[in-house]
């Protein structure tokens, strides 16, 4: 009886369509989110994340519809993030069928939002998404906003400690330096955050080779998130799990049903 390392696919959704850019700047259309969710489910993904990058409120309505249609057809955990600013936003996403909600910019702007959400729904629904990059801060990593373009003026490690004390249930650690490079997860950053956090830690940004996934587990990640390597078919989900399993890591190799 061992908890498996989770493999998570992330779909960036804009106005109901999946997009994924390299370093968040040029976006490439990669399909319908509901169809992709079903495909990943059938291939054995452990969890799905939708990141809503829609700019307008009307596009967000489309997101609720996409979340609802996905939850009707895919019976694995679904996290939705992007543009979550209030307890009501969380309420709507959970009612639409999301299991967890990730927050980022709004929590930086107003950290009290974290406790407001966790007091109402429990910390297990709340994922703190941290877009971090290397910088001259006490931990060597700083928090950024706007897809890594702007410094939030926060040290990544102290922000995670602050948010943890306010009531988040999981950390999604996105390396802005590694994102889109396929050159490997930021192992130094994962190691540094693992030292101080006892929350489940999702490594994100930089997944390229199969060895990269194993290296992130060694550094202390509980879950491994990837987007483009899955969306563009560089690795199938089962290839990643087979590799990890053969190298002695506990993974959910899928139902035999």
Distances (CA, A) of 28 to 42, 144, 231, 242: 24, 23, 11, 29
Cβ contact 111:75 at 8 Å: no
On the CB side of 155, CA atoms within 13 Å amount to: 11
* 65 catalytic per annotation: no
In whole angstroms, give the CA distance from residue 112 to residue 104: 13
Pick from 76, 87, 106, 234: which binds another protein (CB under 8 A)?
Answer: 76
**Residue 4 has which token pair?**
């498996």
Pick from 2, 58, 112, 136: which binds another protein (CB under 8 A)?
Answer: 2
Interface mask (CB under 8 A) for another protein, residues 37-56, using x and -?
Answer: ----x----xx---------
Pick from 24, 40, 50, 121: which binds another protein (CB under 8 A)?
Answer: 121
Q: Which stretch binds another protein (CB under 8 A): 129-137, 156-164, 173-181, 197-205?
A: 197-205
* 131 catalytic per annotation: yes
Helix (H) or strand (E) holding 97: none
CA-based end-to-end distance of the chain: 19
- Environment class of 181 (CB within 10 Å of its CB; exposed 0-12, middle 13-18, buried 19+): middle
Is residue 57 at the binding interface for another protein, with CB under 8 A as the rule?
Answer: no
Smallest distance from another protein to CB 140, Å: 23
Which is the catalytic residue, given 14, 52, 131, 186?
Answer: 131
Angle CA(183)–CA(180)–CA(16) in degrees, nearest 5?
Answer: 150
Any residues with CB less than 8 A from the CB of 202 and at least 6 apart, and which?
Answer: 6, 8, 127, 170, 171, 172, 173, 221, 222, 223, 224, 225
Interface mask (CB under 8 A) for another protein, residues 79-118, using x and -?
Answer: ---------------x----x-------------------
Smallest distance from another protein to CB 14, Å: 26
Residue 76 or 234 having the CB closest to another protein: 76
Which is the catalytic residue, given 12, 155, 177, 186?
Answer: 12
Is residue 1 at the binding interface for another protein, with CB under 8 A as the rule?
Answer: yes
The binding site for another protein (CB under 8 A) comprises 1-6, 41, 46-47, 75-77, 94, 99, 119-125, 169-170, 198-200, 222-223, 252, 255-257
Could you list the active site residues?
12, 131
């Amino acid at each position: 009886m061992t908890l498996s390392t989770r493999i998570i696919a992330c779909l960036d959704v804009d106005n109901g369509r999946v997009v994924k850019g390299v370093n968040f700047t040029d976006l490439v259309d990669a399909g319908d989110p509901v169809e992709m969710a079903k495909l990943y489910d059938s291939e054995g993904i452990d969890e799905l994340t939708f990141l809503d990058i829609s700019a307008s409120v009307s596009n967000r309505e489309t997101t609720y519809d996409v979340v609802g249609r996905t939850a009707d057809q895919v019976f694995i955990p679904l996290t939705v993030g992007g543009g979550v600013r209030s307890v009501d936003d969380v309420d709507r996403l959970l009612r639409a069928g999301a299991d967890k909600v990730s927050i980022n910019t709004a929590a930086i702007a107003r950290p009290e939002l974290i406790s407001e959400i966790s007091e109402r729904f429990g910390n297990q629904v709340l994922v703190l998404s941290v877009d971090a990059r290397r910088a001259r801060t006490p931990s060597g990593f700083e928090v950024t906003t706007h897809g890594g373009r702007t410094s939030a003026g926060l040290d990544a490690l102290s922000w995670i400690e602050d948010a943890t004390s306010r009531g988040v249930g999981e950390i999604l650690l996105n390396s802005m330096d590694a994102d889109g490079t396929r050159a490997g997860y930021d192992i130094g950053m994962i190691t540094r955050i693992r030292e101080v956090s006892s929350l489940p830690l999702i490594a994100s940004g930089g997944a390229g080779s199969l060895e990269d996934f194993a290296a992130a587990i060694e550094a202390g990640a509980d879950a491994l998130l990837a987007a483009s390597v899955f969306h563009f078919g560089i690795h199938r989900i089962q290839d990643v799990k087979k590799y990890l399993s053969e190298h002695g890591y506990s993974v959910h190799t899928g139902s035999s049903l």
